[in-house]
Amino acid sequence: MQTLRLILIDKFIWLLSGAVMMATLLPVQGVAKDVAGILFNAGIFAVFLLHGIRLERHEVKAGFANIRLQGAIFIWVFGVMLGIGLLLSKALDEILPPDVALGFLFLGVLPSTVQSATSYCAIARGNVAASIVASAFINLVGVFLSPLLFALLASAAGVDITSDTVIKLMAILVLPFVLGQTFQKWLRPWVMQHKDLTGWIDRGAIALAVYVSFSAAIIAGMWSRVSGMEFVWLAAALLFWLGLAFGGAWTLGGLLGFVRADRKTLLFSGAQKSVAIGAPIAAILFVPERAGLVILPLIFYHLAQLFLSAPLAVRLAGEED
C-alpha cells in the first residue's frame, strides 16, 4: 500500500504521462508552437536558476568529503551507464528507427536525477546528504559533459557541437545556475518558503519540454515510424537496462565495502537518469522532429525508474526495521 501511495502521489509521473498523451492527441503547432518554444526556454532557465539557489555551498563541501562514494557514483553514471547505452544503441540500430536507437546512447550520457534520487534515498534511509551533493554535482558536470560525450560518440549520426550550440547551452543551463549561486543569500529564503510553487515550476518546465518535442515528432509521423513490434523491442531493451542499472549499482556498492546507507545512495543516484537535463539538451542539439524520437527511450526509462524506485525504497527501509 505504501508503494502504491508513493506512485500515486508522484506528480511528475502524471505530468510526464500527460505531456506525452497531450502531444499525441493535441500536438502544438503554428503560432502556438512559437509561444511554447519561448515558454520552454524561459522555464528551463528558471529550473536551473532554482537549482543554483537551492544548493547550499556547505552541502557541496560536506558531500565531497566522501570521495570514494562520490567517485563511484561518477564512474557508474558517466562510465558504466554510458557503456551500456553505447552497446544497446549499436545492437538496436538495425532493429529500431535510427533516432530511437540513438536515444539509447543519449540516455547513457545523461546524469542522474536530483529530486527523485534524493527523495527515494531518504525513504530508503540512505545517506541523503551525499545523495544531494552527488546528484547536484553530476547534473552540473552533465550540462557540459553530456553534450560533448554524445557529440563525440554520435558524430556519424550528424550530431555536432557548434559555437552556437555551446552559447545556447551556456545561456539556458549554466548562466542561470551561476546566477542562482551568486544571489543565493537573498533568494533562497523565499524559494524555501514557497517549495510547492517552485516545485511546480520545475516539473511544469520539463513537462512542457517533453510536450513540445513530442508534438513535433507526432506531426512528423512518429507513431507511424515506430511499429508495434519496435515498441516491444524498445520496452524489452529498457527493462534489461533497468535491471543492469539497479542491480549493478547495488552490487558495486557491496563490492566496494560501502555501508548500507552509502549503498542506497549509490543505487538511487547512480541508476536513475534525468529528463530534466535530457529534454533541454535534446531540444538544443536536434530539430524538434528528431528530438521527440531521440528522447523516447529517456521518457520511458524515466517513468519506469520511478515505478521501480518506489517499492525498492520501501523494501530497503523495511529491512532496516
In angstroms, what is the C-alpha Rg of the chain?
A: 19
| Mean predicted confidence (pLDDT) in 67-82 | 90
Confidence band for 79, pLDDT divided at 50, 70 and 90 = very high
Distance between CA 25 and CA 47 in Å, rounded?
27
- 308-319 residue pLDDT tens: 887 888 888 876
| Rounded (10°) CA dihedral 11, 273, 255, 122 | -20
pLDDT tens, 226-243? 888 999 999 999 999 999
Contact 15, 201 (CB under 8 A): no
The pTM is what? 0.82
Whether 11 has a pLDDT exceeding 70, the answer reads: no
Q: How many CB atoms lie within 10 A of CB 100?
A: 25
Tell me the domains of the chain and their CATH numbers: 2-320 (1.20.1530.20)
DSSP H helical ranges for the chain: 2-9, 11-25, 31-54, 57-63, 67-75, 81-91, 98-109, 115-123, 128-153, 163-169, 175-182, 184-193, 195-219, 222-225, 228-255, 260-271, 275-285, 288-294, 296-320
Mean pLDDT of the chain: 82
Q: Within 13 A of 18's CA, how many CA atoms are on the CB side?
A: 11
Look at 184 and 158; give whichever has higher pLDDT. 184
